[in-house]
Amino acid sequence: MNGCCDHDSQLTFEGKDTAYKWTLIFVIGLNATMFFVEMGAGFNATSQALKADALDFLSDSLTYGMTLAVIGHSLRVRATAAMLKGISLAVIGMIVLGMTTYRVFILGVPNEITMGVIGFMALAANVISVMALWRYKDGDSNVRSVWLCSRNDAVGNIIIILAAVAVGATQSRWPDLAVAAIMAGLFLHSSTLIIRQAREELDRARQPGTEADE
């Protein structure tokens, strides 16, 4: 995937495809639905991991909408949008880390059954998203950011399911908190990848003649 940063801008998929746009609309709706389902379950089960994943669904819905909005615009506009998405992922990662740190000092074991059931639902939603977006994973920074977010979501859901099993076995809140911290790390890692590629594309956009070709 990293190699897509080195491709010529005219050879890199920019999202100008009707099938991709409809795929994106479908994934946005799926993510928005799962945000409400998972956030409600997170509060009901007192699970920090579910709340963190719900925030990720919300972030994905908003950033995918931004991706859809800038398709067809200049390289500078698309790269700027990707930069904003990278920054928003970093902010969410820091928020989740803060929430997790705060939760460490509050007693209470999350409901492992709710964690497991909702974790499976979220995993199914994200696997569907990943499969739908697979063919577009090597696009420009704007398109690639969608793939990275969906991939992270699927990985995070698998970890949440494992954490639910660990919570049930140990009756401890620590597996839940550990997963929330891992997810925060994934947010920050993806943020770094997206921002790095966006910076390279912004530098390329400043070269004479680039904007005119977009």
Instruction: Note the pLDDT tens digit of each residue in 16-75.
Output: 778 888 988 999 999 999 999 989 998 888 787 788 788 878 878 887 888 888 887 787
At residue 192, the pLDDT reads: 86
**Model confidence pLDDT, tens digit, residues 103-121:** 666 656 677 788 888 888 9
Q: How far is CA 138 from CA 14, 22, 42, 91, 156, in A?
A: 10, 18, 33, 25, 21
Burial call 57-76: b when 16+ CB within 10 Å, e when fewer: bbbbbbbbebbbebbebebb
DSSP SS3 for 12: coil
Residue 146 CA to residue 196 CA, distance in Å, equals: 15
Which listed CATH number (1.10.260, 1.10.3470, 1.20.1510, 2.40.50) goes with 16-206? 1.20.1510
**This prediction's pTM:** 0.68
Query: So where are the chain's domains?
Result: 16-206
**Model confidence pLDDT, tens digit, residues 130-161:** 888 887 777 776 677 777 777 777 877 888 88
Encoded tokens for 153: 């979501």
Percentage of the chain with pLDDT > 70?
84
